[in-house]
Amino acid sequence: MSLHFFQRMSECIQLSFAVCRIGIYTCFRGLCCKGPPPPRPEYDLVCIGLTGSGKTSLLSRLCSESPENVVSTTGFSIKAVPFQNAILNVKELGGADNIRKYWSRYYQGSQGVIFVLDSASSEDDLETARNELHSALQHPQLCTLPFLILANHQDKPAARSVQEIKKYFELEPLARGKRWILKPCSLDDMEAFNFDVVTSFFSVNCFPAAHFEMK
């Protein structure tokens, strides 16, 4: 074989080693030299509902707080609910008679609405909840936002079904053309609650760039 052949062979081998070194360095840098992950985006939701509907307990459970320390909200409070790719800052408004008239003062800046109702409440309270939901759905600052409606206390014997609530609240004719979803829930059986449906609803209708998964 000629000297030229061996020179070409040597050059090819050296080139192969160089490519391998570059590949190994790139992999090592990708595995060991990653910078800190980008900060998670934060979004604002407003949570409303009558006193006793379970708003505070529900949010505390989502934040992994002890249920023993839960106290009904008398004014408003803000909780940061962590998801893998985002943080939802939920502004909870108290549901007492003397507070509900001030709800609209806290609507500005909201990107979505959580309405919690007690599916086992009295007829009078259920009618009041229906009126408040109708008012919220038509409010100028909320009417274009996605609504997550939670029928809470499904574990109680007197609880109405989702279909009964949908019919009683006249959701389909009233909310036609709006973005809303009605889901049953119970604080005693949160493991059965499908968070994927809820997070997908907000990610599609409220935050198109985000995809949420519970921690």
Residue list for the binding site for Mg(2+):
56, 73
Residue ranges of E strands in 70-179: 76-82, 87-93, 113-118, 147-152
* Residues contributing to the annotated binding site: 49-56, 73, 95, 152-155
Which is it for strands 180-184 and 147-152: parallel, antiparallel or unpaired? parallel
Burial of 125 (0-12, 13-18, 19+ CB in 10 A): middle
CB neighbour class for 52 (10 Å; exposed up to 12, middle 13-18, buried from 19): middle
Instruction: Report the b/e string of 66-101 with b at 16+ CB within 10 A.
Output: eeeebeebeebbebebebebbebebbbbbbeeeebe
CA distance 118 to 99: 18
Binding site members for GTP: 49-56, 95, 152-155
Angle at 39 between CA 58 and CA 145, to 5 degrees: 50
Angstrom distance (rounded) from CA 80 to CA 91: 9
